[in-house]
């Protein structure tokens, strides 16, 4: 039962109060000052909307002992919508065991000082989490609307261990995403800790003019079953997004630009254990047109990762990467993408461009070239070392046909393998051999060099 149903049946128990700022201070609850971190050094292509001051304050008190606080949270948010400031006081632990649809928000600040933990009731969440249509993604909650700010220095905890263990038994389960910005038009998500997400940490879908700053992401498995597909951010059908000044320790893409992501700035990130900063995967679904354009990635520290900069596109014919991820045959374009300044340490490939994502048979991939074009790509100012995994190679630059790849510039790359080499596998990219040290063929061929790898 979702919270909207609880309200219908009149089961809501009030655990929130509306107070003036002075009354809040009298209750020894101090609302946080909105951070508004500077966007620097690079700026989005369009100005961000202003966010007026809030005029009322709602304070939530956790029930404790793992009791579901969802109904009280919804009441406080509704009471303080349209110009208010909702405070989750520090040193309190709030439990959410009910799916919250918060796509109605308008001019509101959510001040999370304490900890919000989602229950590990996997049966409930598989049935009630919000289905987001793309790649079977689901979210614990949906946060959307107009002019919404979330901050406070607190923690969102996805209680992921039960999900990591369950996924090891059944790859077809639907694991919720920790933070879902769905249809958010204007907002800032700042000064928060994200922990133990069952799947991706953040999905930004159908949203625009949103800034993420000073987000700390971490949380792995304590059992033999790893935390898989824990992307830091995935953007989808979204425009004018900034992701900056954050620390990400995860097990999949640090940031991934999914279909129809545009005008995005990613800067000043520390990424560890990830699959790199990735465009894609794209072209997974027949009949879908995937566009990713105008992306600027700047000043990234990338350690213990599979990739630094990566562009991954499905081939023109269907293939299967794993039981729960298969596709190919979609169309679209990747254009005006810049990766500028990255420091690498123990990264398998410094740079990877592939149009055979998910297809282990490279001959078949070349027979059915990708329907997506890749053009106007600039990758520059990289330094550091790769891992031993593919040495003497440090990169993989292979398109399925020279007709669909053009204007790819790679310059000032000071990256070497542990043996001191700087070779790349190259193929079907016109002029690439004049920019990097190419070896034709490489090792193990295409994406077969990695085992199963998701999203």
Question: How far is 320 from 314, CA to CA, in rounded Å?
Answer: 10
Measured in degrees and rounded to the nearest 5, phi and psi for residue 314 equal: -75, 155
> 422-454 as b/e, with b when 16 or more CB fall inside 10 Å?
bbbbbbbbeebeebbebeeebeeebbebeeebb
Nearest to 387 by CA among 446, 299, 307: 307
β-bridge partners, 241: 210, 264
How crowded is the C-beta side of 150, counted as CA atoms within 13 Å? 25
Q: Chain centroid to CA 116: how far?
A: 20
Give, in order, the Cα–Cα distances in Å from 149 to each of 107, 111, 211, 225, 303: 8, 8, 9, 35, 31
Burial class (CB in 10 A: 0-12, 13-18, 19+), 17: middle
- Spatial neighbors of 42 by CB under 8 A, at least 6 apart, are 265, 267, 296, 298
Question: How far is 296 from 301, CA to CA, in rounded Å?
Answer: 15
Pairing type for strands 141-151 and 155-157 reads: unpaired
Nearest to 177 by CA among 208, 147, 217, 137: 137
β-bridge partners, 295: 264, 337
What's the Rg (C-alpha) of the chain? Answer: 22
Token pair belonging to 306: 């599979």
> Is position 107 annotated as part of the catalytic site?
no
235: part of which helix (H) or strand (E)? strand 233-236
Phi-psi region of 163 (alpha: psi -120 to 50; beta: other; left: phi over 0): alpha
Measured in degrees and rounded to the nearest 5, phi and psi for residue 4 equal: -60, -35
∠ CA 375-42-152, nearest 5°, is 120
**Positions marked active-site:** 275
């Amino acid at each position: 039962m979702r919270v909207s149903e609880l309200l219908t049946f009149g089961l809501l128990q009030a655990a929130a109060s509306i107070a003036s700022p002075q009354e809040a201070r009298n209750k020894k609850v101090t609302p946080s000052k909105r951070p508004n971190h500077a966007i620097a050094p690079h700026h989005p292509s369009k100005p961000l909307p202003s966010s007026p001051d809030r005029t009322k304050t709602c304070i939530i008190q956790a029930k404790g002992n793992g009791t579901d606080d969802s109904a009280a949270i919804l009441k406080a948010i509704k009471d303080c919508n349209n110009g208010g400031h909702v405070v989750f006081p520090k040193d309190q632990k709030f439990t959410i065991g009910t799916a919250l649809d918060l796509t109605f928000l308008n001019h509101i600040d959510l001040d999370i000082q304490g900890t919000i933990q989602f229950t590990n009731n996997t049966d409930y969440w598989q049935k009630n989490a919000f289905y987001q249509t793309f790649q079977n993604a689901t979210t614990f909650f949906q946060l959307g609307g107009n002019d919404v700010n979330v901050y406070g220095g607190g923690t969102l905890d996805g209680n992921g261990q039960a999900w990591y263990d369950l996924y090891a038994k059944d790859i077809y389960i639907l694991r919720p995403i920790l933070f879902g910005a769905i249809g958010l038009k204007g907002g800032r998500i700042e000064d928060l800790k994200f922990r133990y997400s069952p799947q991706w940490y953040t999905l930004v879908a159908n949203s625009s003019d949103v800034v993420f700053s000073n987000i700390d992401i971490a949380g792995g498995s304590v059992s033999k079953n790893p935390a898989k597909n824990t992307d830091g951010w995935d953007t989808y059908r979204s425009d004018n997004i900034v992701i900056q000044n954050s620390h990400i320790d995860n097990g999949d893409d640090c940031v991934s630009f999914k279909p129809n992501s545009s005008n995005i700035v990613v800067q000043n990130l520390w990424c560890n254990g990830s699959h790199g900063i990735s465009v894609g995967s794209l072209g997974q679904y027949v009949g879908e047109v995937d566009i990713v354009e105008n992306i600027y990635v700047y000043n990234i520290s990338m350690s213990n990762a599979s990739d630094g900069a990566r562009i991954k596109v499905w081939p023109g014919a269907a293939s299967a990467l794993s039981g729960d991820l298969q596709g190919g045959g979609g169309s679209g374009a990747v254009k005006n993408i810049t990766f500028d300044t990255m420091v690498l340490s123990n990264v398998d490939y410094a740079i990877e461009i592939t149009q055979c994502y998910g297809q282990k048979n490279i001959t078949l991939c070349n027979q059915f070239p990708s329907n997506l074009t890749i053009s106007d790509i600039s990758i520059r100012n990289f330094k550091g070392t790769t891992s031993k995994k593919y040495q003497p190679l440090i990169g993989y630059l292979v398109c399925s046909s020279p007709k669909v790849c053009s204007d790819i510039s790679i310059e000032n790359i000071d990256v070497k393998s542990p043996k001191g080499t700087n070779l790349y596998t190259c193929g079907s990219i016109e002029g690439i051999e004049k920019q990097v040290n190419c070896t034709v063929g490489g090792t193990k061929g295409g994406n077969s060099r990695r085992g199963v790898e998701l999203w």
